[in-house]
Amino acid sequence: MNFDYSEEQQLLADSVRRFLQKDYDFESRRKIVASPEGWSERVWATFAEMGLTALPISPDYGGFGGGAVDLMSVMEAFGEALVVEPYLPTILAALAIAKAGNAQQKQAILPLVAQGKMRLALATGDRGVIGAPMAHKIVFAGKDGLLLVEPENLNPYRTVDDLAAADIRVDGKGERLDGRVFNEVFDLGAALSCAEAVGAMKFACDTTLEYLKTRRQFGVPIGAFQALQHRMVDMFISYEQAKSMACLACSRIDSSENAKDRARAVSAAKIKIADSARHISQESVQLHGGMGMSEELKVSHTFRRLTVLQRRFGDVDRHLERFASL
Amino acid sequence: MDLNYSPEELAFRDQVRAWLSANLPADLKDKAHLPKEELMRWHRILAKKGWVAPAWPKEWGGTGWNVVQRYIFEEELGYAGAPPIIPFGVTMCAAVLLAFGSEAQKKRFLPRIYNGDDFWCQGYSEPGSGSDLASLKTKAVRDGDHYIVTGQKIWTTLAHYADWIFCLVRTDPTVEKRQEGISFLLIDMKSPGVTVRPLMLMDGWHSVNEVFLDDVKVPAENLVHKENQGWTVAKYLLGYERMNTGRIGESKRELHKLKESFSEKMNDVRWRDRLTRLEVELMALEITNLRFLDRMRRTGQPPGADVSMLKIRGTEIQQALTELAMQAADPAAAETKALERRYLDMRKTTIYAGSNEIQRNIIAKMTLGL
């Protein structure tokens, strides 16, 4: 047993963090979100240069063949920085193609994804498809299996956490993907969204702690009050427990041959992280007082991201149900 | 990162598990509040096997296991429903002696602790000194080669079984900083002037006591570390205490029993969801605990103050399990009384070993810098 990232994982995580700190600070991100496209092609190109788009793709198609733990460190950093570029939709759809597509489909798509030249989205229905507006192709998971469709007839909008999304219309047209591997991809998405939430929670905790130390009322920093100290401690514990579960889910995805084991760990992580995300996001705003409500502070944006992440890839009730059934 | 046990760790676990299933007497399994003879029977079985004090240095009888192996062992003990190893001697007094004791003290006390010849209890809390431990008033006055000790201890767990008590006493009442006038003293419970009075708790068990010390003559050689530096010893010990209060193996067993005893309750979605959330919290705590152990293994450093979170969450889980059991059981049935008594008993867990509020203070100050 070990909890360390490998040297390569650590180097990658560090370089991702460095880039985000330098070029994806809150002000830069605000400009990206305010742009008509709502995402940055330049940032996407940097992700590709850093090897992130190639990370989970098989070496057969020009990738690095990374697993869930490799992606976890990236998603944690993305969560902290509230990245809006459609990284998770692209790699999940790519992995669905890698597992279910035929040789020709894989050859046509995966190398381009690895090079950062193709973006994808993954639709589990015709509504709320994250990343659809900037996708070159959409993997549509319908009742009859997986379909590769063109992003046409889109009704685009932004989600409450500033992601470009769209309702799509699929009228049966598209290329069929033969395999049925959707649960595996869904579980990976759920686990990685947990990692993203853990990153966002880390920021929420760090920034709230900083605020408690600097904000003065009644002549003292408000962090001197025990009522607030204990709430801060509970946030900290909530974060550590959530982080443990994200580690468990990602590690099980990489190591477990058994689908039930994997699903159990992922559902458990989703349950814990949904509860922690609600707890930490709500407390981070409350402890900031009125400033926590303000659009000007990143913590209110983190609040919105965490509010959505709680429910993405199945809300807590769905995972409670699944966990009990396994 | 790989959260699976390695093949070696799994083999170790299987070895422990097999030994427990062959050597844990059935009549000692899953028993709360065992009499002294029964506790010591189990202690001696482990001592004979060489497993009663895994954390000790090898020269004193430790096993040389690493932190993960020790964790596996403790978890298997809990999961098998084994009686607890009473911590006051093996875990606490021994840790102090190993770190601060003289060679003579180690030679005199450690083998007796190991073999179960001496039963120890802990003399910390006083009627006026609970969370504010440094305000303690029991005084020890030096008189030639003795101390004369006068005062009162309270909440002393299993003092009625104990041969010895380790005490925090005030040796200098004049210092301005109260922590600087405290010493760590070992007192023979058979000394004249020691009186133990039971304190019955709401669960109906006799497990804690008041200990009265009236002009008790204690040889000066029983002082551990230097005079007036007992607070250093006490702080060292508190860190040890917190690392071991998560009770994860025990909670896993309780959870398992809950699912078995109330299997029909699993169809009640409201109850089942509460149980699932608790199970998940326990899974998370187990991983968090392992992350602490992994950090200790890598850095070779003792745990930081943030280890208090294991005590906070572990005890909250212990309590929540008893609530779920009561909720599932028929409130009027005779057999429910045992569950209710356990519920009453478990209320102590968030109070003892530094209340959970004190643990939060510790994390706020030491870890978060508030």
What would the 3-class secondary structure string for B212-269 be? EEEEEEEEHHHEECCCCCHHHHHHHHHHHHHHCCCCHHHHHHHHHHHHHHCHHHHHCH
Per-residue pLDDT reduced to its tens digit, A61-90: 999 999 999 999 999 999 999 999 999 999
Q: Which residues of B touch A224 (CB under 8 A)?
A: 370
A180-188: average pLDDT: 87
Q: Determine contact: A8 vs chain B, CB below 8 A.
A: no
Among B111, B353, B153, which Cα is nearest to B245's? B353
Q: Where in chain B is the domain with CATH 1.20.140.10?
A: 245-367
User: Could you please report the per-residue DSSP string of A127-170?
Assistant: S-EETGGG-SEEEEEETTEEEEE---S-EEEE-TTS-EEEE---
Q: How many CB atoms lie within 10 A of CB B219?
A: 14
Which position among B210, B241, B323, B340 bears the catalytic label? Answer: B241
Per-residue pLDDT reduced to its tens digit, A99-129: 999 999 999 999 999 999 999 999 988 899 9
Classified by CATH at the fold level, domain B245-367 comes out as Butyryl-CoA Dehydrogenase, subunit A; domain 3 (1.20.140)
Res. A144: pLDDT tops 90: no
Among candidates B291, B309, B370 on the partner chain, residue whose Cβ is nearest the Cβ of A3: B291
Q: Which residues of B touch A272 (CB under 8 A)?
A: 280-281, 283-284
* pLDDT for position B202: 96
Q: Which residues of A touch B363 (CB under 8 A)?
A: 233, 236-237
Mean pLDDT computed over every residue of chain A = 95
Q: Which residues of B touch A2 (CB under 8 A)?
A: 1-2, 294
Among A130, A128, A59, A64, which Cα is nearest to A92's? A130
| Residue A145: alpha-carbon gap to chain centroid | 24
Q: Which residues pair with A130 in a beta bridge?
A: A165
Do B277 and A224 count as a contact with CB atoms less than 8 A apart? no
Among candidates B4, B288, B309 on the partner chain, residue whose Cβ is nearest the Cβ of A255: B4
* pLDDT for position B7: 94
Among candidates A234, A240, A252 on the partner chain, residue whose Cβ is nearest the Cβ of B288: A240
Q: Determine contact: A251 vs chain B, CB below 8 A.
A: yes
- Between A297-306, B214-223, B246-255, the lowest mean confidence (pLDDT) is in B246-255
* pLDDT for position B302: 77
Between chain A and chain B, how many beta carbons pairs sit less than 8 Å apart?
Answer: 120
Do B361 and A226 count as a contact with CB atoms less than 8 A apart? yes
**Domains assigned to chain A:** 7-177 (1.10.540.10), 182-325 (1.20.140.10)
Q: Where in chain B is the domain with CATH 2.40.110.10?
A: 120-230
Q: Determine contact: A324 vs chain B, CB below 8 A.
A: yes
Q: Determine contact: A234 vs chain B, CB below 8 A.
A: yes
Q: Determine contact: A266 vs chain B, CB below 8 A.
A: no
Q: Determine contact: A213 vs chain B, CB below 8 A.
A: yes
Do A209 and B68 count as a contact with CB atoms less than 8 A apart? no
Contact yes or no for A5/B3 (Cβ under 8 A): no
Would you tell me the crossing angle of helices A41-49 and A7-23 to the nearest 10 degrees? 160
Spatial separation of the C-alpha atoms in residues A315 and A271, rounded to whole Å: 8
Q: Which residues of B touch A244 (CB under 8 A)?
A: 284-285, 287-288, 291
Q: Which residues of B touch A234 (CB under 8 A)?
A: 360
Q: Determine contact: B8 vs chain A, CB below 8 A.
A: no
Q: B9 vs chain A: nearest CA distance in angstroms?
A: 8
Do B280 and A250 count as a contact with CB atoms less than 8 A apart? no
Contact yes or no for B54/B104 (Cβ under 8 A): no
Q: Where in chain B is the domain with CATH 1.10.540.10?
A: 7-85
* pLDDT for position A256: 83
Pick the CATH number of B7-85 from 1.10.540.10, 3.40.980.10, 3.30.200.20, 1.10.10.10: 1.10.540.10
Q: B136 vs chain A: nearest CA distance in angstroms?
A: 24
B126 is catalytic: no
* pLDDT for position A3: 86
* pLDDT for position B335: 87
Q: ipTM value, please give it.
A: 0.96
Do B290 and A224 count as a contact with CB atoms less than 8 A apart? no
Classified by CATH at the fold level, domain B120-230 comes out as Butyryl-CoA Dehydrogenase, subunit A; domain 2 (2.40.110)
Contact yes or no for A146/A165 (Cβ under 8 A): no
Q: Determine contact: B2 vs chain A, CB below 8 A.
A: yes
Spatial separation of the C-alpha atoms in residues A140 and A148, rounded to whole Å: 6
Per-residue pLDDT reduced to its tens digit, B337-354: 999 999 999 999 999 989
E strands within chain B?
120-123, 139-143, 146-154, 164-170, 182-188, 194-199, 208-219, 223-224
